[in-house]
Amino acid sequence: MHDPKTEAPRSASHSAIALLQRSSLASLVQTEIERLILDGELASGAKLTESTLADRLGVSRGPVREAFRMLEEAGLVRTEKNRGVFVRDVPIEEALEIFELRAAMDQYVGRKLAQTISPAEVKSLRQFVESMEQAAKAGDAQAYHRLNLDFHDRLLALTGNAKFTATYRKLVNELSLFRRQNLTGESMTVYSREHRQIVKAIAARDADAAGLAMFQHVMNSRERTLQNHRQRQAAGRPANAASSTSLENTHA
């Protein structure tokens, strides 16, 4: 026998739990699609469909639809009316501007951390650098790319500025394709050396040196991006030639 006094609260509680479950599932779906994009499994400009992704990830279409919304806010996908959802394809001119903005923001990160970082935090950054050096020696660009993203995200998190972090992450997401294309055996070695110099300056609490090292690191990436773009143009290759996977018609 139902007690009318408890029926409403129970119903409200069940609704709240269902909402939480849907929200959590959408976040998990967002994380997985984001991984596919940042790792290059989904190409710049690729069309994404709810049904294909839902099948691949073993979920209903609702969480995928919500994940698309969150990914658009994060700057990784765009929605075109009557056409669908696509992985963002950032023009080279815009990418170069983003690199410049990111360089200025990274300079702040370096200066900030040189003034506030703890010995334990320095140790964690050195571990990242060592792992990246190992990946570079092994020629594992995929592992290096993921470690590189995590390293810079760790630097960002250590600033403790949530608003700054959210803005920066969106910019980094928009540069994901270009940063992957910059990874070669030679460039990974150079990047690792630059990362070690950044951590050394931060550990020494030299704000000027840390800020400059961070700034120059990003501007060097900008220059490599421009050179790569010019080489692809000279060879008659499209900007996104390094990756062409689409989830519109495949169920890989």
Q: In terms of domains, do 194 and 124 share one?
A: yes
For the record, the structure tokens of 162 come out as 């949530």
Residue 247 belongs to some domain of the structure: no
pLDDT tens series, the chain, 252 aa: 555 554 444 444 444 444 445 558 888 898 888 888 877 788 878 899 999 999 999 999 999 999 999 888 877 888 998 899 998 888 889 889 999 999 999 999 999 999 999 999 999 999 999 999 999 999 888 888 889 889 999 999 999 999 999 889 888 877 776 766 666 667 888 999 999 999 999 999 999 999 999 999 999 999 988 988 888 788 875 544 443 333 433 333
Give the range of the structural domain holding residue 42, as residue numbers without chain letter.
23-87
Model pLDDT, residue 23: 58
> 158 with 110: CB under 8 angstroms?
no
CATH of the domain at 211: 1.20.120.530
Q: In terms of domains, do 39 and 97 share one?
A: no
List phi, psi (to 5°) of 77: -130, 165
Q: In terms of domains, do 145 and 231 share one?
A: yes
Q: In terms of domains, do 124 and 209 share one?
A: yes
Residues forming beta bridges with residue 72, ordered by sequence position = none
Determine if the pTM surpasses 0.75: no
Q: In terms of domains, do 78 and 106 share one?
A: no
What is the total count of domains within the chain? 2
Model pLDDT, residue 204: 98
In the chain, what is the straight-line distance between the N-terminal and C-terminal CA atoms, in Å?
Answer: 51
Q: In terms of domains, do 140 and 207 share one?
A: yes
Residue 58 belongs to some domain of the structure: yes
Model pLDDT, residue 180: 65
Q: In terms of domains, do 117 and 189 share one?
A: yes
b/e code 87-120 from CB counts within 10 Å (16+ = b) = bbebebeebbebbeebbebbbbbbbbbbeebeee
Q: In terms of domains, do 119 and 145 share one?
A: yes
Residue 113 belongs to some domain of the structure: yes
